[in-house]
């Protein structure tokens, strides 16, 4: 045990970090490895590679992801802002690079090769952008002469333009939702909500009218007979096959024909092999993490910490809900990972960075008591000398 009298950096971190929140993240990380064992061998066999190829790569990324989350969680709020700025600039540059030298997959350029690893810069852009927008909005509220809202909008427009150019409309919509949530939490007047909502709805309608693949996905969701719904049909079949208690580890069969079973549809694999009860437990862990993070945000007296923590948890929660909803055919199909669970090095590292920011911003820090403040304020300059 580490004594409270211990003043070492580790002891300080241990006694100030939210250990329940940290434990929730670790549980999800471990769950990702377990579900990778269940889902990825079938995909590897279809591709003609080593059955444990994806498991090994996920395990390789897990160690630096955990180290990254621990390291970032030890930062001060000021250092969180600085790291976010560096990550944002680097991600922005890499996203521009993907348009020219990025790897093309399914008509999109979202990945770039760095030292033999494929990196998806947009995954790292999201948490960095949220932290910077939170800082700009908080500075704008504290110092009226600073056009924080304008700068925040400019950063979002740049990011959204690069996402659309890839194209990646799912991530664009996700960022738009979190961006709107930050403005709402910052005190956006109710009269401004309607025009902003109308603008968002107009963007969705424009994407539906002008982009064939978006139109196809929406049409297949509204009318399954209008196109191929193989993926979603197999996902629903996996839930039905697994029932409450599952078929057992390694006993799933639908994963052998379900594309992207180790990424977008890993929640369905969990249902077939481990049962709906395990899926509900997984949902409870996600819910606990999000609500605990939002609880910290609600109690934070620092505007930057409040907005940044809330924004990061909203991002985490909405992305999780989108992935699960697609698996359950509750919304049109969209390739979006389940945080900490789905296979993917970029997703795992970026989520670890994001939640490291949350742990850093929610650490307990000494604050002057009200009594001390009153005493200091009553002391005259003569007495202070």
Whole-Å CA distances, 82 to 69, 77, 85, 87: 16, 9, 5, 9
Average pLDDT over the chain reads 85
Residue with tokens 């093309």: 104
Residue 21 has pLDDT above 80, yes or no: yes
What does the alpha-carbon distance between residue 83 and residue 75 come to, in Å, rounded to a whole number?
A: 9
**Measured in Å, how far apart are the chain's first and last C-alpha atoms?**
43
Tell me, what's the pLDDT at 385?
41
Domain of 137 in residue numbering reads as: 9-364
Of the chain, the percentage scoring pLDDT greater than 70 comes to 91
Higher pLDDT pick, 270 / 195: 270
SS3 349: helix
Q: Is residue 376 part of a domain?
A: no
**CA quadruple 356, 165, 200, 264: dihedral, nearest 10:** -50
Residue 142 has pLDDT above 70, yes or no: yes
Higher pLDDT pick, 357 / 112: 357
Tell me, what's the pLDDT at 261?
82
Confidence of residue 131 (pLDDT cuts 50, 70, 90): very high
Confidence of residue 152 (pLDDT cuts 50, 70, 90): very high
What does the alpha-carbon distance between residue 239 and residue 40 come to, in Å, rounded to a whole number?
A: 18
Tell me, what's the pLDDT at 248?
86
What does the alpha-carbon distance between residue 266 and residue 343 come to, in Å, rounded to a whole number?
A: 9
Q: Is residue 266 part of a domain?
A: yes
pLDDT digits (tens, 9 = 90+) for 45-55: 888 888 888 88
Residue 6 has pLDDT above 90, yes or no: no
User: How many domains, the chain?
Assistant: 1
Residue 370 has pLDDT above 60, yes or no: no
Q: Is residue 383 part of a domain?
A: no
Question: Do residues 348 and 62 lie in contact, with contact meaning Cβ atoms separated by under 8 Å?
Answer: yes
What does the alpha-carbon distance between residue 310 and residue 298 come to, in Å, rounded to a whole number?
A: 8
Confidence of residue 84 (pLDDT cuts 50, 70, 90): very high
Mean pLDDT, residues 374-385 = 44
What does the alpha-carbon distance between residue 288 and residue 187 come to, in Å, rounded to a whole number?
A: 26
Burial class (CB in 10 A: 0-12, 13-18, 19+), 147: middle
Higher pLDDT pick, 5 / 59: 59
Q: Is residue 283 part of a domain?
A: yes
pLDDT digits (tens, 9 = 90+) for 158-208: 999 999 888 888 888 899 999 989 988 888 776 777 777 777 787 778 777
| Token couple for 144 | 């009226």
DSSP string over 101-164: HPEEETTEEEEEEETTEEE-HHHHHHHHHHHHHHHHHHHHHH-TTS-HHHHHHHHHHHHHHHHH
Tell me, what's the pLDDT at 372?
45
Residue 379 has pLDDT above 60, yes or no: no
Mean pLDDT, residues 23-32 = 94
Pairing of the two strands 117-119 and 108-114: antiparallel
pLDDT digits (tens, 9 = 90+) for 205-264: 877 787 777 787 887 888 777 777 788 888 899 899 888 988 888 888 888 888 888 888
Higher pLDDT pick, 156 / 187: 156
What does the alpha-carbon distance between residue 42 and residue 209 come to, in Å, rounded to a whole number?
A: 37
Cis peptide bond upstream of 167, omega within 30 = yes
Any residues with CB less than 8 A from the CB of 27 and at least 6 apart, and which? 285
Confidence of residue 375 (pLDDT cuts 50, 70, 90): very low
pLDDT digits (tens, 9 = 90+) for 273-316: 999 999 999 999 999 999 999 999 999 889 999 999 999 999 99
SS3 206: helix
Any residues with CB less than 8 A from the CB of 193 and at least 6 apart, and which? 184
Q: Which of 9-13, 215-219, 267-271 has the highest mean pLDDT?
A: 267-271
Tell me, what's the pLDDT at 3?
58
Tell me, what's the pLDDT at 374?
44
Tell me, what's the pLDDT at 371?
43
What does the alpha-carbon distance between residue 314 and residue 127 come to, in Å, rounded to a whole number?
A: 11
Question: Do residues 87 and 353 lie in contact, with contact meaning Cβ atoms separated by under 8 Å?
Answer: yes
Tell me, what's the pLDDT at 307?
95
SS3 26: helix
Q: Is residue 372 part of a domain?
A: no
Question: Do residues 336 and 264 lie in contact, with contact meaning Cβ atoms separated by under 8 Å?
Answer: yes
Q: Is residue 45 part of a domain?
A: yes
If one counts every other C-beta atom within 10 angstroms of the C-beta of residue 6, the result is 13
With a threshold of 0.85, does the pTM exceed it?
yes
Alpha carbon 49 to chain centroid, angstroms: 30
Tell me, what's the pLDDT at 82?
96
Tell me, what's the pLDDT at 189?
73
Mean pLDDT, residues 140-156 = 86
If one counts every other C-beta atom within 10 angstroms of the C-beta of residue 223, the result is 10
If one counts every other C-beta atom within 10 angstroms of the C-beta of residue 355, the result is 29
Task: Name which of 124, 146, 125 is nearest 135 in CA terms.
Answer: 146
Q: Is residue 318 part of a domain?
A: yes
Q: Is residue 374 part of a domain?
A: no
Question: Do residues 25 and 355 lie in contact, with contact meaning Cβ atoms separated by under 8 Å?
Answer: yes
If one counts every other C-beta atom within 10 angstroms of the C-beta of residue 276, the result is 17
Tell me, what's the pLDDT at 45?
84
Point out the least confidently predicted range of 66-80, 134-148, 368-382: 368-382
């Amino acid at each position: 045990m580490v004594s409270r009298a211990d003043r070492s950096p580790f002891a300080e971190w241990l006694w100030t970090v939210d250990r329940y929140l940290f434990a929730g993240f670790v549980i999800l990380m471990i769950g990702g490895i377990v579900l990778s064992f269940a889902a990825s061998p079938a995909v590897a066999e279809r591709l003609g590679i080593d059955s444990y190829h994806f498991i090994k790569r996920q395990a390789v990324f897990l160690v630096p992801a955990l180290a990254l989350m621990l390291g970032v969680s030890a930062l001060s709020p000021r250092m969180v802002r600085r790291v976010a700025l560096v990550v944002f600039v680097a991600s922005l540059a890499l996203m521009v690079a993907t348009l020219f030298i990025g790897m093309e997959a399914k008509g999109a350029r979202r990945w770039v090769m760095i030292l033999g690893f494929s990196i998806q810069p947009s995954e790292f852009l999201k948490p960095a952008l949220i932290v910077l927008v939170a800082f700009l909005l908080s500075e704008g509220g504290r110092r009226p002469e600073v056009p924080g809202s304008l700068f925040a909008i400019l950063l979002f427009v740049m990011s959204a333009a690069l996402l659309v150019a890839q194209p990646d409309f799912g991530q664009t919509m996700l960022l738009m939702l979190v961006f709107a949530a930050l403005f709402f939490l910052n005190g956006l007047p109710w009269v401004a909500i309607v025009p902003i909502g109308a603008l968002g709805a107009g963007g969705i309608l424009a994407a539906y009218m002008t982009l064939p693949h978006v139109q196809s996905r929406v049409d297949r969701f509204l009318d399954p007979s209008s196109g191929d719904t193989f993926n979603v049909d197999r996902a629903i079949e996996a839930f039905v096959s697994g029932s409450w208690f599952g078929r057992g580890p390694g006993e799933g069969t639908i994963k052998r024909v379900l594309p992207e079973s180790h990424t977008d549809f890993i929640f369905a694999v969990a249902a077939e092999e481990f049962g709906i009860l395990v899926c509900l437990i997984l949902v409870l862990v996600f819910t606990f993490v999000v609500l605990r993070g939002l609880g910290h945000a609600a109690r934070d007296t620092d505007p930057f910490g409040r907005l940044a923590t809330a924004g990061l948890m909203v991002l985490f929660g909405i992305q999780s809900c989108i992935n699960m909803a697609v698996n359950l055919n509750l919304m049109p199909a969209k390739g979006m990972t389940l945080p900490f669970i789905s296979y993917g090095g970029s997703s795992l590292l970026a989520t670890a960075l994001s939640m490291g920011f949350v742990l850093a911003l929610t650490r307990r820090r000494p604050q002057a008591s009200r009594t001390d403040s009153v005493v200091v304020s009553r002391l005259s300059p003569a007495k202070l000398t």
